[in-house]
């Protein structure tokens, strides 16, 4: 029994040494970085700003919105469902972004290519992790109009 | 010690006698005269290689229109060659100072033999010798260091190349490839390439396109070092066995033998030197040197140990010493200036740089501290105090930052055969650099993908390039203390295609790529707009663009502060950076960092030939957008 207690004491002492935050600070910067496991997912993801048009060319649009940080996989995708009628958002585009896991909020931006000039598009946005699972938020249906051929517009 | 090394050198004499070599050389020469194909080259015998070399310089390959090659290219290559000889000489002196290598006798103990005490030092010195040895190229005129000199953070050493053709000429002048030379520093930290199931993303590997996977040696870094010696656009050996052949004649052969236990007792064919003196690219086989299976195994082992030696060097303080001002700051031994601190906070916060260039600091942010509608993907202020992970300044991943096609890249012009019948790029301006996507398809200009399961991911990887560590991005020779005009500055090139010529431009690109996006190619910005200032041409690859960046909302001052922070990541602050004192070139002065190099912008062909089918027509096809 004494031997068992001794082993336990050694294990605890050694473990304590490994977990000493001072030591971790001294040595962590000089070790190769690994890929961290996914962050904890937010209980609820809400859009706190937007979505809004950031930039439009005659064939391209960028839409932006802000949510609380959804967590989960650092690799994320922004998703836009769009179409030329508010009741038919049959087309989808996705863009890649990377979460900064310790940031409180995340700004999502999505590119939509292959648009027609001088056309009004209706859209709804959401986001998802790299596993394809939605973050759960979804915007209302909004709209933008592409400029004439060769022109570009930008939000203020 | 010198005496000991001389003994080693004497023991290093090739097992074959000099007379045998001469005999075989004469036979080879006779055969060469009869061989019409090879005789077309007509090499003069070079006095620098008296023992067995019949090689000379083939006629210069110059398919370039006037103004594409920099006018000082010959002189600059000569300068770098002289600098490499200096560093090689230093390692040779260090080798001579090595104590006798002694192996532990571990019989009965259960440990493998170890070079006691001096094993690490021997490995470092061997790596240094190999890195700067110009004999590791057919024409004995190029080494790894030709594209990776210490004073440039082990990236490209010729300012005029950085300003123009982007890629460096290899052994055969002026064949050149298509991308910038990546820095060696901290490269060994990249793991072997793997697909991370959780992230659904590729992690690790080396080269911009991940083609050095590490699948065989389980070291992406060691496998990276294996590519350039047999890349016809770089050092250019026609056969991996040429590494063993040339090392078998090197001054440091015995050190290689002692470190690795390598067996150089190979029955070389009589034409080994002739073959190894001929730049590759147009041989009918990848193994033109006829070796028995046993000898091929020995040569392969030496080739593997070549890569491992270079990687070992890159792991040492000669290359990756963690001696930057930022490291000293983390250790509490240096203070950052107010601008550097501001840049550091922006790097973590508003600019979100550390989202991919992980700096090991938690970025705990105060919500709502962004800059409104113009804020970055992630906003706030870093209030954390402790390192949460290693500050490698990379996530080891891949991203498509949407760089425009750079029409100055040498490869676009190499669509005619050279004197050896090799055409580097039959596609001309039909070439597109899909980076990781092309590698996953085992496509043109990359390397075979060793994992068939990965091929289906290619459309999601098109345009993606490796996220380099930000460390040493600003390293320059001491006499040219910055990368930024007006200087005095050392001209560098940034990103995979060298389109960006200063750190100011680099940060401005991340900041405004989508703000000043125009549907034009480089050289065709609208009147009244200045390229790289308020006009960014369209991406070369429009798929998979990283939207974490592109509209960060940084002010001009904030951009400059991030540049100031990046400059704290340069090694050599706490201790001198080894061999960074060798630059003998000149510094540039004048101009502005914002428009640095703009005077050499040239118009992209208009219309641009479509992406060649041998790139964009390879399944699985790029999607959702067609590559223009």
pLDDT for the residue numbered A34? 65
Q: Is the peptide bond before B607 cis (omega within 30 degrees of 0)?
A: yes
DSSP B80-144: HHHHHHHHHHHHHHHHHTPPPP-B---TTTT----BTTTHHHHHHHHHHHHHH-TTSSTTS---G
A37 touches chain B (CB under 8 A): yes
Q: What is the CATH number of domain B2-315?
A: 1.10.760.10
| Closest-CA residue to B580 (of B469, B472, B470) | B472
Rounded to 5°, angle at Cα B66 from B63 and B70: 90
pLDDT category, B107, cuts 50, 70, 90?
confident
pLDDT for the residue numbered B326? 95
Angstrom CA distances, B208 to B148, B219, B469, B497, B578, stand at: 15, 16, 12, 10, 26
Mean pLDDT score, B279-307: 97
Q: Which residue of B has its CA nearest to A32?
A: B189
pLDDT for the residue numbered A153? 87
Q: Is residue B142's pLDDT more than 60?
A: yes
Q: Is residue A17's pLDDT more than 70?
A: no
Which of the residues B539, B548, B568 would you substitute to probe the A interface, choosing the one with the greatest number of A C-beta atoms within 10 Å? B548
pLDDT tens, residue by residue, B185-215: 999 999 999 999 888 999 999 999 999 999 9
What's the topology of domain A47-154? Immunoglobulin-like (2.60.40)
Domain ranges of chain A: 47-154
Residue A54 and residue A62: Cα distance in Å, rounded? 5
Residue B457 and residue B476: Cα distance in Å, rounded? 38
Contact A105 B376 (CB under 8 A): no
**B8-12, B243-247, B282-286: least confident range:** B8-12
pLDDT tens, residue by residue, B551-576: 999 999 999 999 999 999 999 999 99
Domain ranges of chain B: 2-315
| Closest-CA residue to B178 (of B399, B380, B415) | B415
The pLDDT > 90 percentage for chain B reads 83
Residues on chain A touching B356 (C-beta within 8 angstroms): 98
pLDDT for the residue numbered B424? 98
Adjacent-strand bridge partners of A142: A123
Residues on chain A touching B200 (C-beta within 8 angstroms): 73, 75, 130-131
Mean pLDDT score, B31-46: 31
| Closest-CA residue to B158 (of B546, B492, B514) | B492
Residue B349 and residue B151: Cα distance in Å, rounded? 31
Q: Is residue B548's pLDDT more than 90?
A: yes
* pTM listed for this prediction: 0.87
Contact A109 B354 (CB under 8 A): no
pLDDT tens, residue by residue, B340-351: 999 999 999 999
The pLDDT > 70 percentage for chain B reads 86
Kind and range of the H or E run holding A88 = none
Of B198, B201, B547, the CB nearest to A110: B547
pLDDT for the residue numbered A102? 74
Q: Which residue of A has its CA nearest to B624?
A: A93
Q: Is residue B492's pLDDT more than 50?
A: yes
Contact B199 A99 (CB under 8 A): no
Residues on chain A touching B571 (C-beta within 8 angstroms): none
Cβ of B588: how many Cβ atoms within 10 Å? 18
Q: Is the peptide bond before B486 cis (omega within 30 degrees of 0)?
A: yes
Two structure tokens written together for A143: 């709209």
Minimal Cα–Cα distance from B568 to chain A, Å? 15
Beta-strand (E) ranges in chain A?
A: 47-57, 60-68, 75-83, 91-98, 105-113, 120-129, 142-145, 152-154
pLDDT tens, residue by residue, B239-274: 999 999 999 999 999 999 999 999 999 999 999 999
pLDDT tens, residue by residue, B411-450: 999 999 999 999 999 999 999 999 999 999 999 999 999 9
- The residue count for chain A: 156
Q: Which residue has the higher pLDDT, B55 or B514?
A: B514
Minimal Cα–Cα distance from A123 to chain B, Å? 18
Q: Is residue B405's pLDDT more than 80?
A: yes
Contact A75 B379 (CB under 8 A): no
Residues on chain B touching A93 (C-beta within 8 angstroms): 624
pLDDT category, B56, cuts 50, 70, 90?
low
Average pLDDT, chain B: 89
Q: Is residue B612's pLDDT more than 70?
A: yes
pLDDT for the residue numbered B510? 98
Residues on chain B touching A30 (C-beta within 8 angstroms): 322, 390
A78 touches chain B (CB under 8 A): yes
pLDDT category, B381, cuts 50, 70, 90?
very low
Q: Which residue has the higher pLDDT, B4 or A81?
A: A81
3-state secondary structure of B438: helix
Minimal Cα–Cα distance from B364 to chain A, Å? 5
Q: Is residue B374's pLDDT more than 70?
A: no
Q: What ipTM does this complex have?
A: 0.82
Residue B143 and residue B131: Cα distance in Å, rounded? 6
Q: Is residue A22's pLDDT more than 80?
A: no
Residues on chain A touching B548 (C-beta within 8 angstroms): 96-98
Minimal Cα–Cα distance from B376 to chain A, Å? 7
Which of the residues A20, A21, A24, A33 would you substitute to probe the B interface, choosing the one with the greatest number of B C-beta atoms within 10 Å? A33
pLDDT category, A155, cuts 50, 70, 90?
low
| Closest-CA residue to B462 (of B551, B548, B398) | B398
Q: Residue for token digits 């703009």?
A: B598
Angstrom CA distances, B372 to B168, B379, B552, stand at: 44, 9, 11
**A79-83, B1-5, B66-70: least confident range:** B1-5
Mean pLDDT score, B97-103: 95
pLDDT for the residue numbered B372? 35
Contact A98 B327 (CB under 8 A): no
pLDDT tens, residue by residue, B573-598: 999 999 999 999 999 999 999 999 99
Mean pLDDT score, A36-62: 93
The answer to whether B232 and B279 have CB atoms below 8 angstroms apart is yes
Which of the residues A21, A63, A100 would you substitute to probe the B interface, choosing the one with the greatest number of B C-beta atoms within 10 Å? A100
3-state secondary structure of B255: helix
Minimal Cα–Cα distance from A73 to chain B, Å? 6
């Amino acid at each position: 029994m004494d031997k068992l207690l001794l082993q336990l004491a050694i294990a605890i002492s050694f473990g304590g040494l490994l977990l000493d935050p001072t030591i971790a600070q001294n040595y962590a910067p000089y070790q190769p970085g690994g890929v961290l496991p996914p962050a904890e997912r937010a209980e609820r993801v809400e859009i706190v700003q937007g979505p809004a048009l950031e930039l439009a060319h005659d064939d391209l649009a960028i839409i932006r919105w802000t949510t609380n940080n959804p967590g989960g996989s650092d690799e994320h995708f922004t998703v836009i469902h769009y179409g030329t009628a508010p009741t038919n958002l049959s087309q989808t585009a996705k863009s890649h972004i990377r979460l900064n896991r310790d940031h409180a909020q995340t700004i999502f931006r999505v590119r939509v290519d292959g648009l027609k000039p001088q056309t009004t598009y209706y859209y709804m946005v959401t986001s998802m992790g790299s596993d394809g699972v939605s973050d759960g938020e979804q915007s209302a249906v909004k709209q933008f109009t592409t400029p004439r051929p060769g022109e570009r517009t930008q939000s203020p | 010690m010198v005496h000991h090394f001389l003994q080693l050198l004497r023991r290093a004499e090739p097992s074959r006698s000099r007379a045998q070599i001469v005999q075989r050389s004469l036979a080879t020469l006779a055969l060469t005269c009869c061989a019409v194909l090879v005789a077309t080259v007509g090499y003069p015998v070079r006095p620098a290689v008296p023992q067995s070399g019949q090689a000379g310089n083939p006629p210069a390959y110059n398919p370039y229109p006037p103004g594409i090659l920099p006018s000082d290219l010959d002189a600059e290559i000569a300068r770098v060659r002289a600098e490499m000889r200096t560093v090689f000489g230093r390692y040779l002196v260090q080798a001579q100072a090595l104590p006798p290598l002694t192996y532990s006798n571990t019989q009965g103990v259960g440990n493998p033999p170890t070079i006691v005490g001096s094993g690490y030092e021997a490995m470092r010195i061997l790596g240094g010798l190999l890195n700067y040895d110009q004999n590791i190229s057919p024409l004995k005129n190029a080494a790894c260091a030709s594209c990776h000199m210490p004073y440039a953070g082990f990236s490209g050493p010729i300012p005029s190349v950085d300003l123009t053709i982007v890629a460096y000429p290899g052994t055969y002048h002026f064949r050149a490839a298509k991308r910038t030379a990546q820095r060696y520093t901290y490269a060994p930290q990249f793991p072997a390439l793997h697909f991370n199931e959780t992230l659904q993303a590729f992690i690790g590997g080396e080269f911009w396109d991940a083609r050095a996977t590490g699948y065989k040696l389980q070291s992406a870094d060691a496998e990276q070092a294996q590519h350039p010696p047999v890349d016809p656009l770089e050092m250019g050996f026609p056969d991996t066995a040429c590494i063993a052949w040339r090392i078998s004649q090197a001054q440091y052969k015995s050190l290689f033998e002692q470190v690795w236990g390598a067996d150089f007792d190979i029955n070389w064919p009589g034409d080994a030197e002739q073959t190894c003196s001929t730049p590759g690219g147009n041989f009918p086989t990848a193994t033109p040197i006829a070796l028995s299976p046993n000898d091929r195994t020995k040569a392969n082992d030496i080739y593997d140990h070549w890569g491992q030696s270079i990687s070992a060097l890159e792991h040492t303080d000669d290359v990756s010493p963690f001696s930057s001002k930022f490291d000293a700051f983390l250790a509490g031994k240096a203070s950052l200036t107010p601008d550097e601190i501001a840049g550091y906070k922006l790097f973590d916060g508003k600019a979100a740089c550390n989202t991919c260039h992980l700096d090991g600091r938690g970025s705990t942010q105060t919500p709502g501290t962004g800059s409104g509608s113009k804020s970055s993907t992630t906003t706030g202020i870093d209030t954390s105090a402790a390192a949460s992970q290693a500050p490698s300044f990379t996530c080891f991943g891949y991203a498509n930052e949407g760089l425009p096609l750079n029409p100055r890249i040498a490869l676009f012009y190499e669509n005619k055969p050279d004197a050896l019948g090799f055409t580097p790029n039959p596609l001309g301006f039909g070439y597109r650099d899909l980076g990781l996507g092309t590698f996953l398809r085992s496509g043109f200009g990359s390397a075979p993908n060793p994992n068939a399961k990965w091929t289906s991911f290619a459309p999601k990887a098109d345009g993606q390039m490796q996220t380099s560590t930000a460390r040493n991005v600003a390293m320059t020779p001491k006499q040219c203390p910055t990368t930024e005009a007006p200087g005095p500055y050392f001209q560098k090139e940034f990103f995979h295609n060298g389109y960006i010529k200063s750190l100011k431009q680099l940060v401005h690109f991340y900041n405004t790529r989508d703000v000043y996006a125009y549907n034009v190619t480089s050289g065709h910005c609208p009147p009244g707009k200045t390229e790289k200032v308020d006009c960014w041409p369209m991406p070369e690859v429009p798929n998979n663009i990283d939207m974490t960046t592109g509209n960060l909302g940084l002010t001009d001052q904030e951009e400059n502060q991030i540049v100031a922070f990046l400059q704290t990541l340069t090694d050599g602050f706490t201790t001198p950076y080894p061999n960074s004192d060798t630059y003998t070139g000149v510094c540039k002065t004048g101009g502005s960092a914002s428009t640095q190099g703009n005077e050499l912008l040239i118009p992209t062909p208009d219309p641009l030939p479509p992406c060649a089918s041998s790139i964009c027509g390879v399944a699985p096809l790029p999607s959702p957008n067609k590559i223009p």
